Amino acid sequence: MMSTLALLGGTPIRTKLFPAYSVIGDDDRAAVAKVMESGILSRFLGTWHNDFFGGPEVKAFEHEWATAFSAAHAISVNSATSGLYAAAGAAGIGPGDEVIVSPYTMSASAVAALVFNAVPVFADIDPDSYCLSAKTIAAKITPRTKAIIVVHIFGNVADMDPIMDLAKKHGLTVIEDCAQAPFATYKGRNVGTLGHMGVFSLNYHKHIHTGEGGVVTTNDSRLAEKVQLIRNHAEAVVEKKGVSDLVNMIGFNFRLGEIEAAIGRRQLLKGPDLVRRRQANVRYLEDRIKGIPYLSMPRVQDGVEHVYYVHGLSYDAEAAGVSRATFVRALKAELAATELREGEGVLMGEGYVRPLYLQPLYQKRVGYGEVGCPFKCPHYTGTPDYAPGSCPNTEDAHFNRVITHELIRPPACRSDLDDVANAFAKVAENMAALRDLERK
pLDDT (0 to 100) of residue 265 = 98
Phi first, then psi, for residue 75 (nearest 5°) are: -120, 115
pLDDT in tens, 293-303: 999 999 999 99
Q: Please tell us whether the domain made up of 26-267 is placed in CATH 3.40.640.10.
A: yes
CB burial of residue 236 (10 Å; 0-12, 13-18, 19+): middle
For residue 128, give the 3-state DSSP assignment: coil
pLDDT (0 to 100) of residue 108 = 98
Q: CB of 87 within 8 A of CB of 216? A: yes
- Residue 1, pLDDT > 70, answer no
pLDDT (0 to 100) of residue 416 = 98
pLDDT tier, 372 (very low <50, low <70, confident <90, very high otherwise): confident
Mean pLDDT over the full length of the chain: 97
- Residue 2, pLDDT > 80, answer no
pLDDT (0 to 100) of residue 225 = 98
Verify cis geometry, omega within 30 degrees of 0, for the bond prior to 411.
yes
Q: Alpha helices, DSSP H only, in 115-159?
A: 134-138
pLDDT in tens, 238-286: 999 999 999 999 999 999 999 999 999 999 999 999 999 999 999 999 9
Which residues, listed in sequence order, are joined to residue 18 by a DSSP beta bridge?
338
CATH tag for 6-16+290-352+396-439 (out of 3.20.20.450, 3.40.50.300, 3.40.50.10280, 3.90.1150.10): 3.90.1150.10
pLDDT in tens, 115-159: 999 999 999 999 999 999 999 999 999 999 999 999 999 999 999
Number of neighbouring beta carbons within 10 Å of residue 250: 13
The Cα–Cα gap between 123 and 103 comes to: 7
Delimit the domains of the chain by residue range: 6-16+290-352+396-439, 26-267
Q: CB of 387 within 8 A of CB of 398? A: no
Verify cis geometry, omega within 30 degrees of 0, for the bond prior to 374.
yes
Task: Residue 81: name the closest of 213, 277, 256 by CA.
Answer: 213
pLDDT (0 to 100) of residue 371 = 86
Mean pLDDT for 301-325 is: 98
- Residue 109, pLDDT > 70, answer yes
pLDDT tier, 370 (very low <50, low <70, confident <90, very high otherwise): confident
Q: Alpha helices, DSSP H only, in 216-323?
A: 221-231, 238-241, 258-289, 317-320
- Residue 15, pLDDT > 60, answer yes
Q: What is the pTM of this model?
A: 0.97
